[in-house]
A and B are shown apart, each in its own frame.
Chain A
Amino acid sequence: MNTMTPVDKGATAPNPARAEAALLPLVDVIEDADGIVLIADLPGVAKEQLSLRVLDDQLHIEGDLALPLPAGAQGSRNEVRRSHYRRAFTLSKELDANQVSAELAHGVLRVRIPKAAHAQPRRITVQLS
């Protein structure tokens, strides 16, 4: 069951001004009977710098990275060279986009999206006549 698919990076930047290349945060997407849990690594993103939006069946995660860099830098060896994170996911119809809840702690974002009531598995009791 494919209820949440990553969208190719950069393919759907909702804000054209932000269309430049961005860091692609690493994620885990786990589905259980009630819905989806998405966990994303966003090191350096404070709560105020995080943007989480649902737009046309797509979940957009964006964030700005605040680097505590000192003045007067002479040289650097940087493995992270950008300061903006962006990634989008397509939500399937069975997810209830109005019930998204999210928390951010230590640079880890945890998003929970429940399945719509009609999409929840239902046990049907067989009656004996």
Chain B
Amino acid sequence: MYRSLFSRDLFAELARLQSEMGQPIDDTPAIRGIGGMGRSGYPALNVTDTPTSIEIVAFAPGLDPAKIDVQIDRGVLTIDGERQNDQPAPSAKTSWHVAERFHGRFRRVVSVPDDIDRQAVTASYRDGLLHLSLPRRESAQPRRVAVQ
């Protein structure tokens, strides 16, 4: 009959969306607002897997680090926050020629593997980049077994 609006496996659906977002839809070099980069939203994310950790870089310029909320729950990492409007206060004399930059509330969600050591996650903010380092648990890391 009708397909359910909601996927039965929410996380599989998330993973599908995420891998779609990772595809080079168009290799446009621009960081754009709605329409281009807006496909992924603010902040843009680079996610890298290494044997020992997951490294996430969020391109989040102009934030107050104290107001960035990062949470990990059941394999889902959420970055929440609000970007204040830093434009000059409008008056009768001001006019906007270009208005591309984002401001307002944002939220981005990334699914992360189960072997993340949640206690050891670190976050730093520098030059408008939010860098999250999610180490894998010791037991989950590949280990070379010495042959006697």
Contacts and interface: CB of A to CB of B under 8 A. Distances in A.
Interface in B59-76: 59-63
A100 interface: no
Contacts of A77: 18-19, 21-22, 45-47
Contacts of B53: 70
B46 A76 contact: yes
Contacts of A36: 97
Nearest to A77: B22
B8 interface: no
Given A39-B101, A46-B127, A21 B61 contact: no
A39 B100 CA distance: 10
A33 B95 CA distance: 9
Nearest to A110: B86
A73 B49 CA distance: 6
B133 to A, nearest CB: 8
Interface residues of A, number: 51
B129 interface: yes
A28 B24 CA distance: 27
Interface residues of B, number: 50
Contacts, number: 158
Contact of A29 (B24, B31, B97): B97
Contacts of B18: 77
Interface string A28-39: 111111001101
A32 B94 contact: yes
B48 A108 contact: no
B85 to A, nearest CB: 10
B32 interface: yes
Interface centre among B27, B51, B59, B96 (most CB of A within 10 A): B59
A82 interface: yes
A89 to B, nearest CB: 9
B96 A43 contact: no
Given A24-B30, A24-B31, A70-B50, A45 B88 contact: no
Contacts of A76: 46-49
B57 interface: yes
User: Can you list the 8 inter-chain pairs with the closest CB atoms, starting with the nearest?
Assistant: A107-B128, A107-B61, A77-B22, A43-B128, A24-B30, A21-B29, A29-B97, A43-B59
